[in-house]
Amino acid sequence: MHRHSTNPRPAPNNGHLPRRPANQLLGRDYILLVMGQGLSLFGSMMLRFAMSMWVLDETGSATVFASVLAAAIVPTILLSPFGGVLADRVNRRTIMVALDAGSGLLVLAAASWFAVQDGGFSIIAVGALMVSLSVLSAFETPTVQAALPQLLRGSGEAVIRRGMAVINQVQQLSSLLPSFIGGALYGLIGIGPLLGVTIACFFCTAALECFIRLEPPHENEPREPIPPTMDHAHSDRPTPQSDGTETSPSGTARGWISDIAAALRFLTHERPNILRLMLLASVINLFAVGYSAVGFPFMIRTVLGFDAAVYGICDGIIGIAAVIGAILAGLFAAALTIDRMPTAMAALGAVILPAGIGFLLPLGNMAKLIALVSSCCLVSLACSFTNIIAIPAIQIRTPETMTGKVMSLLASFATCTQPLGQMLYGWLYDTVAPEWILVGTAAAILMLSAVSAPLFAHFDGRRDEHVTPCV
């Protein structure tokens, strides 16, 4: 027996891709990605908070800024699929660096414009800035979601879920901190320095991302075998050049659309259960957005009659609950396999019921407020668990050269349901008693969990059984 037959030599290093650490969650590349995402999101949320305060001060109308945010959703819906194509054609590190640096330059240009204008404020400039940043975000989100499984490739499904959980924790903290410190800073230093904080966050993120080691996606073997029916879809894939750049045989809009069509064929013909999961997640997002973004403030301010200060405290409590949920999901990530999805959905529906029951009972407004806030805290916890189950399940079952496109389609689906949920629940709260809306929402989610149970019991079986998740 040859000695080396039981002790294979390590794979040779090609010089620019260092050997990965045993625990990739402690590796430099993953830590840099997490730090960058935290800084970038902190800057984005600080900018949104600063802009909202500024617009309210200058116009006295929340509707004006809400209209700007609604307009900013459109590029995300329309351009996210093309962002996914780019993420699967070009080095993902390069995209992240360029987009964060571009975001910093956009905010810098806007801040300079505000500084030289008489009076400073311009709602047109604010709108242009928010829409432009939304365009860049449409390309960055699928890139980051594709980069995570690429960084953790070969570590196992549980590690990918833990990695996703850590990023969720950082994102929740980065979203929470601006709401706590933004108001104080805005009152003390004004809009200009807050824009400076945002600019610094974007540029620091771009600098950190420069040191992430990621090879272009086409240089790797797919994490799952591509079925023969998909081979023709690769005709428009970029070809690596000696200088590290990529070119496409078509290089046209037709080639990009062909890539999106290939992703849709993959979802409809090869992995239909992934598509069903994506659609189910979008429906859950519709309920969650309607319940939290519309119902929560409406019930506190209008139904119960509490002032803005009470609402701010309650919103901060919900934010803390979201952070705790992300931490708990990370602790239990190894056990959160796809077959647990119906249980997580049932828990999400069940925790909405106490709020509905509280509003049905002859309780005082303070007791109803406590029931509502407690329910929303538990909803945040349940949403953290459903996210950790669903998103990694999609990522690990998608070929590496198609992860960006598939995740961008998920982003488009979820983004589309946000205005739908807001409009639906806005109409419901104008026409139906709030307690019945809460009970109905809980019943709908519980019904979805029961109906979808067979799907998750055999998620990788039947038509999907020829493809094994590569972890």
Q: What secondary structure letter does DSSP report for 333?
A: G
SS3 of residue 232 by DSSP: helix
Report how far residue 72's alpha carbon sits from residue 128's, in angstroms, rounded to the nearest whole number.
9
pTM of the predicted structure, to 2 decimals: 0.74
- What pLDDT, on a 0 to 100 scale, did the predictor assign at position 274? 92
pLDDT of residue 471 exceeding 50: no
SS3 of residue 119 by DSSP: coil
- What pLDDT, on a 0 to 100 scale, did the predictor assign at position 103? 94
Beta-carbon count within 10 A of 301 CB: 14
pLDDT of residue 350 exceeding 90: yes
Report how far residue 144's alpha carbon sits from residue 139's, in angstroms, rounded to the nearest whole number.
9
Residues 6+ apart with CB under 8 A from 363: 371
Annotation: CATH topology of 24-156+166-213: Growth Hormone; Chain: A; (1.20.1250)
- The C-alpha torsion from 166 through 171 and 177 to 183, rounded to 10°, is 180
Residues 6+ apart with CB under 8 A from 89: 217, 218, 237, 238, 246, 248, 259
Please choose, from the candidates 256, 231, 212, the residue with its C-alpha nearest in 3D space to the C-alpha of residue 34.
212
Domain(s) of CATH 1.20.1250.20: residues in the chain: 24-156+166-213, 270-463
pLDDT band at 220 (very low <50, low <70, confident <90, very high): very low
Which pair of structure tokens corresponds to residue 238?
């970029």
pLDDT of residue 217 exceeding 90: no
Beta-carbon count within 10 A of 184 CB: 9
pLDDT of residue 16 exceeding 70: no
Domain 270-463 homologous superfamily, CATH: MFS general substrate transporter like domains (1.20.1250.20)
Mean pLDDT of the chain: 80
Check residue 154 and give left, alpha or beta (phi > 0: left; psi -120 to 50: alpha).
left
pLDDT band at 448 (very low <50, low <70, confident <90, very high): very high
